[in-house]
Structure formats: structure tokens, C-alpha cells
Structure 1
Amino acid sequence: MDFIVRYLSDLSPVLAAFYASLFTWIVTAAGASVVFFSKTANRNFLDCMLGFTGGVMVAASIWSLLIPAIEMQDGEGILKVLPAVIGFLLGAAFLLGLDKVLPHFHVNFKQVEGVKSPWQKTTLLILAITLHNIPEGLAVGVLFGAVAAGVPDASIGGAVALAVGIGLQNFPEGIAVSMPLRRMGVSRIKSFYYGQLSAVVEPMAAVLGALAVGIFTPLLPYALSFAAGAMMFVVVEEVIPEAQQNKNSDWATIGFIGGFIIMMTLDVVLA
């Protein structure tokens, strides 16, 4: 891990963000590849992994994004926290807008959101997971940009920890796309292809986030909290409700706690 941190430290923030988010895409593809070995996945396992996803995203939003956004702002009281509040609200509003406009299926196939569309179920499911991945890639890119900007509470180790945490929770996301497609009769190869395709947006979002921070450095506190707000919206709107669909919700709760602890630990240890 130290080698990776040193290697990324020598790169430009944009290239470092691209490589880190490329890792998160590879893990998604690894999750999607499970479809080659099985047509179904244990529901308790999926609920646990969805809970894990939520725990990682919440912890990352707090330790990796919101705390640095607040600490880098001068002033006291409301003035110190105001940029983080504004950015957080804008990030949540941005995802809310996408959620209302972009046609997509919830993972449970029981509800379609967004404008009416003739698109097939496969496309709608992929778009649902893609919505999850936009703020994740953006968060990685913005944090690497924060390191380049010299934010005291931002470090390459912390950025790597964020990428690792997001990568870990991307594994079940790959399963969550490929498995339902396989059950719908889609071939294994196509199910895998669409499963990994859902995370292609992450390197794109990461590069855009790093570029934006590099060009508009004064907006960095807003950008960090924007990514946090977008991630928290996904957790509350999509991840947690889906994880609680099963009667035995304890698995989702255990997964959430585990994901939160792992992400918090990674951020502190690697920072």
C-alpha cells in the first residue's frame, strides 16, 4: 500500500484520480464476473453487501469529504461550516434532479423512476447503478484535487483509502447488475458486460472532479461537500431502502456497520 501511495504522489492529480478510479471499475468488473459461476446470489449476502455499501459511503462522506471541507474553511461558527452546508445541499439536489429525470429501475425491479421511457429493463437497471457511481467517481477525483491544492486534512493516503473503500463496495454492485440480468435470460457474457459497464462512469467523473478542483481551487470546500451530499443522497434514496427489502434486515444492518468501520479505519490508517 505504501508503494501505491508513493507512486500516486508523483503523478498529476488528474492522472492519479484516473488510476484510482480505474481500480474501482476493475473491482466492479470482478463482481460482475461472478455471473460466470452462478445464476443467483444469496439474498442475505446481497443485503449484507448493500448495507456494506451504505456504510462505506456514509463514512467516506464524513471523514474523507465533509471534515476536510469544514477544516479548510477560515472563520468561526456558521461561516466556517457554511460552504460545506451549501455544497452538501447542492450535491443532494443534483442527484435528486438526476433521479427525477433519468429513467431507471430500482435494483428490485419493482419501481421505475424518472421520465417515461421505452427503454428495456436491462438499460434501466444499468442506469440505476450508474447513478450510484457518479458521486463515487466524483468524490475520488475531488479528493485527489484537494491533495494537489494543499488542503491540510487531505492526503494521498486518504484519497487512496477512499478509492479502496469505494472499490470494495463496488464488488456487490457488479453482482447487483449482472445477476438480475442473467435471471432475465441475458447471456453470461452480456450480463458481465453490462455489469462492468455500469462503473465506466467512475473514471470519467473522477477526472472531471480533479480537473474542476484544479481550475477552481477556491470552490474546493463546496466541491468536497458536493460529492458528500451526492453520496449521502444515494445511500438514503437507493442503497438502504433496497437493503431493507428482505424480512431479515439484520444482515443489512451488520453490513452497514462493517462498511462504516472499515472505511473509517482505512481513512485514519492511510491518511
Structure 2
Amino acid sequence: MELDRETLEKAAQGALERPSDAMFWDDRLFTTHGAVFHWAELSDDLLEESNYLTALAEIQGAAGDDADEHVIDGTSRHFAHGSLRTIYVQVYDDDVIRCRKCASAAAWAVSRKKHGRRRFLCGACKNDWDWDSKHYGLPALEPIAYRPRFTAAFIEATELALSLQDYPILDESDYSEREWEAFEKALKEAVEHAQSEYGLVDTCAEDNAIAELYYQNEDGEHRQNWRSPDDVDWEVVATEYREARDVYFLELATEVYRWNVLGYSPDQLALFAA
């Protein structure tokens, strides 16, 4: 999307707004580099994780050779969220003219009539200049708006942030893949918990064989309805695992019966299996 100047300036103001109750480990934070995305790593929020890492890759790609300087992937400790990762992006280009009084990015240029030299000021310092001009009659011309250049990284970060207002996912395939991996991990943990009930009687080989039967059961509820970690019901898994275990040992007992009691050869048993 093509962003207008007003939108970028509003985004810059929000990104550079410094929290009043925090200390930072880098002097660039909230001076030249603004916060654009956050991710609480311990929250198990897959959507937040996907959006953060997707945004980080996209912003670094937009920055190109300047990525190391213009993009910071920072980590801090937060009393509510634990480990908090934040993407800080340099808002303005390095050659942007700074305010002569406070060194922030200039927004206005004013000139003295006597010498014609320009003075660059930010919005806040321009208010002081206006006050002095009004009350002390300083010979200043009308201020001219100065338009600093935004970095490619910040423009990309703003576009990504605004896109989330219309749709909450930056990369559908990345999020789906992460969700499926988390689901498979949760299902594996539920199966291992079901196996623990028979830990004293089943061997590792039997555990693996029964688990394979369980996963192959396409009629199982986990194959029909479950798609995310929260869907996994450990009680249902335990019941289905128990059913798979019964099938496994019934087949094993039947094979032993055919061989030892009925006297079928291995080739004949293979015919039964077929």
C-alpha cells in the first residue's frame, strides 16, 4: 500500500513515544529507533509469534544492507509477560537534519532576517521559538515545514502494522504450519501420557507399534476434528490408544494361536494376513 505523509508521521510519533516507567539498554531506543512489534515469548500465542517473526523478516528485507543498523530485535524482561521481544526500527534516515535545541528530527526551518541563516527545530522547540518571537520581537521569518525522510524499514513496518487492522495474520501459511506443528507436539504428549499407564507391562517396541496403529486410525476423532493444540483431549486420546492396544495384542495373540495351536507355517500365516 502507498502510505501518505500524515500516516507515516503519526506512526513515527507513536513508535518514538518513550514509556515513562522503563529503562532501556540502548540509547537509540525511542530516540532514533521506535518500537513497532512485540512478542511475549512465554505466552504460547502462536499468532503473535508468527506475526512477529514474519514482520522481522519482512522489515529486515526492506532495510537491505542497512538491516543491522536500522532494525533491532531486542529482548527485555517484563513483570507481566516475562521475556518480551520487540522490533525497534530506525524511523528517519541517517542524514536527516536534527533540531538545533534537542537533537530530535527537525520538523521546521526558520530563518533570521538579518543574516538569512536557517535554524532547524522540532515541533516542540518551534513552539518556544514562536513564543520568543511573539514576546521579544525576534526578527524571524515564517517557519517552513521540513519533511525528513523515513527509512525503508520504517515504511515497511508501518505498512505491516496497518495491514493487521484489516486481517490479523501476516503470513497465513507460516501461521498454519506453526499451528500444525504445535498440534502434533500436543498430540504426541497426549499419546505418551496414555502409554505411561502401561509403562510397567509394555516394552518400547510394543509402545511404538501400538502408537503406529493409533496414528493410522483414520476414524479417530483427532483425524476428523482436531487442528490446534487446544483441540487435543487427553481422555479421548487415552481411550483411542487403549483401543489400539487391544487390537495390537489381539492380533499378536491370534498369530501365536495360529502358529502354536493350529500349526500354520509362516507362509500360511502370511496368507491370513493378506
Smaller-chain TM-score bracket = under 0.3
Larger fraction in strand:
2
- Which structure has the larger Rg? 2
Larger fraction in helix:
1
More RCO (CA 8 Å, sep 6+)? 1
TM-score normalised by structure 1 residue count: 0.26
